[in-house]
Amino acid sequence: MTDSVSLNVIGTIDSPYKEKFAIPRQPGIVTAAQGQLRLTGLANNAELVRGLEQFSHIWLLFIFHGTQAQGWKPLVRPPRLGGNKKLGVLATRSTFRPNPIGMSVVKLDRIEQQSSQVILHISELDLLDGTPIVDIKPYVPYADIIENAHGGYAQEQPSSNIDVIFSNAAHLTLTDNIGHCPTLQSLIEQVLSQDPRPAYKKNSKDDRIYGMTLYDFNINWQMTAIATLNVIAIEKIVSITKSIE
């Protein structure tokens, strides 16, 4: 490729998803996920979003910054196909694309200005914390909904029939933090009911204990039966601030 363009980052995402593992594979699946989009640089100006509050949903165009350094490949293995069949990268929503650009429709809950900072409160996102945003567009139902469209190998949202059970210790942490993080339990339930393990493990029991981070909590869990997932522990991450003497 000889031609190149450069894009300006216009905002950054604050997301409960602090690592790639366990992020839903598309937006709209985990409705309890809430985040913020902070406009940056010259785009941090309320005039740019004047009128946007009329729309319930917005398109976000973003950079897959978490995988960008790994480059791209012509063929990838979509998790939807069990991770064992290769397709052309442009026939998938893989992050390993010639240009690391993603697009997601998210719910726009409200727009706020905090002193000089413009913040878009969003939910139902599938974005890693710190994701750079390069464009925002209103979601326009008459143009963006296509009745009878064919979805190829991904026609339907993946079904989920997993029960998520919390240990007593995990329940205790949820109760202790209900004021600080009221949606944590629903977020954990919705994320885990998608079974975030590698695709080839789907519908199988597994002795391994997995860990994931949501907001400022480390969560350990195990698939104790084919359709039962046990949340073993939830621990609040304590940040250690060094005092400067």
Choose the binding region for ligand SAM from 28-36, 82-90, 121-129, 185-193 (rule: CB under 6 A): 121-129
221 beta partners: 210, 231
Pair 37, 85: CB distance under 8 Å: no
Longest dimension (CA), the chain: 66
Pair 196, 132: CB distance under 8 Å: no
Place of tokens 């339930």: 189
Q: Quick one: which of 57, 73, 93, 121 contacts ligand SAM (CB under 6 A)?
A: 93
* Alpha-carbon gap, residue 13 to 11, rounded angstroms: 7
State yes or no: residue 25 binds ligand SAM (CB under 6 A). yes
State yes or no: residue 70 binds ligand SAM (CB under 6 A). no
State yes or no: residue 102 binds ligand SAM (CB under 6 A). yes
State yes or no: residue 127 binds ligand SAM (CB under 6 A). yes
Query: In this chain, which residue has its C-beta nearest to ligand SAM?
Result: 66
The least distance separating ligand SAM from the CB of residue 129, rounded to whole angstroms, comes to: 8
Task: Closer to ligand SAM by CB, 44 or 68: give it.
Answer: 68
Q: Quick one: which of 12, 34, 104, 185 contacts ligand SAM (CB under 6 A)?
A: 104
State yes or no: residue 12 binds ligand SAM (CB under 6 A). no
Task: Closer to ligand SAM by CB, 11 or 66: give it.
Answer: 66
Task: Closer to ligand SAM by CB, 170 or 219: give it.
Answer: 219
State yes or no: residue 26 binds ligand SAM (CB under 6 A). yes
State yes or no: residue 190 binds ligand SAM (CB under 6 A). no
Binding stretches for ligand SAM (CB under 6 A): 20, 23, 25-27, 64-67, 93, 95, 102-104, 126-128, 131
